[in-house]
Amino acid sequence: MKKGDAQQRKMIIDQVISSCENYGFFQIVNHGVPERLMDEMLEKVRMFHEQPAEDRAAFYRRNLAANSSYHSNFDLFQAPSANWRDTFYCKIAPTPPKPEEIPAILRDTLMQYSDHVEKLGLELFELVSEGLGLNQNYLKDIDCAKGWALLCHYYPECPQPELTIGTAKHADSDFLTILLQDNHISALQVLHKNQWVDVPPVQGALIVNLISNDRLKSVEHRVLANLENPRVSVACFFHGTHLEPSTRKYGPIKELLSETDRPKYRETTIYEYTTHYHAKGLDGKSALTLFQL
Ligand SMILES: O=C(O)CCC(=O)C(=O)O
Ligand SMILES: [Fe+2]
């Protein structure tokens, strides 16, 4: 991902775009986030979730507008079924968290990891803008990279995994997700041509999802529960202004539309979209349906 070599950059962009067009995600290894830090992040997330309940309780809250929260199933009261997972959620930008909003056991590692992810996120928005034939700063200029949050998931081992699910089928609610998954357990699946396909962990790799006017697929995915061991993952959601009030409207990018490529969705604000996504919960249906034209 080094800048400079124009031909190499073009090749990376082509791969990113074609992978997103065909599969809705891609895996990257040469991303600038040190492997040592990725492993440390997964380990610290595991340690946080495996502390005695009284040490975790201070962070327990269900308010998704809070700067940080620790909860089991953000959509517990909305979705038709619960997922077998707990999550520590922390907003990173535009306003960085106060130290006391992050559990001490995670604090330093989480901040170091987020510095690297933020740089990678910005670079990915540039590459994707360019790949779509837009100005390099297009997606950044419309605030896609303005706000983001980190979700530290923990999927406890499950005595009867066939009766439940780690994360129900969904497409992410943000512009771009950077996912770090456990090195030891293959549980993530993506829906490709109506079939669930495993995305086994690759040492040192990060997974990236995107959303768009159906040109770059917003891939549907899920996580299976498993019997043997707890599984840990860290999802970084670049979701713009999220639940903060903003009147900026988002819709299919006008510069990419034509007589033959008409808008498939109406415009909406990030607030409206996010509120709808949360109210619906992970019910297996696409949140985009409401906005379809
Ligand atoms: O745990 C994972 O690997 C995926 C989590 C996920 O899909 C999400 O947070 O949206
Ligand atoms: Fe997801």
Question: How far is it, in rounded angstroms, from Cα 53 to Cα 11?
Answer: 49
Please indicate, yes or no, whether the overall pTM of this predicted structure exceeds 0.90. yes
pLDDT at 238: 95
Atom of ligand 1 nearest to the CA of 153: 1
Query: Average of pLDDT values for 166-182?
Result: 93
pLDDT at 4: 59
Residue 182 reports pLDDT greater than 90: yes
Query: Average of pLDDT values for 132-159?
Result: 95
**What percent of the chain clears pLDDT 90, i.e. is strictly above it?**
71
Atom of ligand 1 nearest to the CA of 235: 9
Residue 101 reports pLDDT greater than 80: yes
Q: Categorize the per-residue pLDDT at 125 as very low, low, confident or very high, splitting at 50, 70 and 90.
A: very high
The residue whose CA is least distant from atom 9 of ligand 1 is: 235
Residue ranges of the alpha helices (H) in 52-172?
53-56, 107-131, 138-141
Going by C-alpha positions, the residue among 54, 172, 47, 55 that lies closest to residue 108 is 47
Residue 210 reports pLDDT greater than 80: no
For residue 279, give the DSSP letter.
H
Q: Is 225 helix (H, G, I), strand (E, B) or coil?
A: coil
Residue 3 reports pLDDT greater than 70: no
Q: Is 67 helix (H, G, I), strand (E, B) or coil?
A: coil
Q: Categorize the per-residue pLDDT at 98 as very low, low, confident or very high, splitting at 50, 70 and 90.
A: very high
For ligand 2, a single-atom ion, the residues with CB < 5 A are 172
Q: Is 136 helix (H, G, I), strand (E, B) or coil?
A: coil
The residue whose CA is least distant from atom 5 of ligand 1 is: 235
Residue 243 reports pLDDT greater than 90: no
Q: Which residues does 291 contact at the CB level (< 8 Å), separation at least 6? A: 265, 266, 268, 273
Q: What is the pLDDT of residues 258-268, one digit of tens each?
A: 999 899 999 99
Cα 257 versus chain centre, distance = 26
Question: How far is it, in rounded angstroms, from Cα 91 to Cα 98?
Answer: 10
Ligand at shortest distance from the CA of 151: 1
Distance of CA 222 from the midpoint of ligand 1 (Å): 7
**Average pLDDT along the chain:** 92
Question: How far is it, in rounded angstroms, from Cα 59 to Cα 101?
Answer: 8
Residue 1 reports pLDDT greater than 60: no
Question: How far is it, in rounded angstroms, from Cα 158 to Cα 124?
Answer: 36
151 lines ligand 1 (CB under 6 A): yes
Residue 164 reports pLDDT greater than 60: yes
Query: Average of pLDDT values for 237-263?
Result: 89
Distance of CA 1 from the midpoint of ligand 1 (Å): 24
Question: How far is it, in rounded angstroms, from Cα 81 to Cα 66?
Answer: 24
Q: Are 144 and 238 in contact (CB under 8 A)?
A: yes
Distance of CA 235 from the midpoint of ligand 1 (Å): 6
68 lines ligand 1 (CB under 6 A): no
Distance of CA 76 from the midpoint of ligand 2 (Å): 16
Query: Average of pLDDT values for 232-245?
Result: 90
172 lines ligand 1 (CB under 6 A): yes
Ligand at shortest distance from the CA of 89: 1
Distance of CA 153 from the midpoint of ligand 1 (Å): 8
Residue 249 reports pLDDT greater than 80: yes
Beta strand pairing call for 68-71 and 86-93: antiparallel
The crossing angle, in degrees rounded to 10, of helices 35-49 and 107-131 is 130
190 lines ligand 1 (CB under 6 A): no
Question: How far is it, in rounded angstroms, from Cα 232 to Cα 202?
Answer: 14
Q: How many residues does the chain have?
A: 293
Residue 199 reports pLDDT greater than 60: yes
Q: Categorize the per-residue pLDDT at 233 as very low, low, confident or very high, splitting at 50, 70 and 90.
A: very high
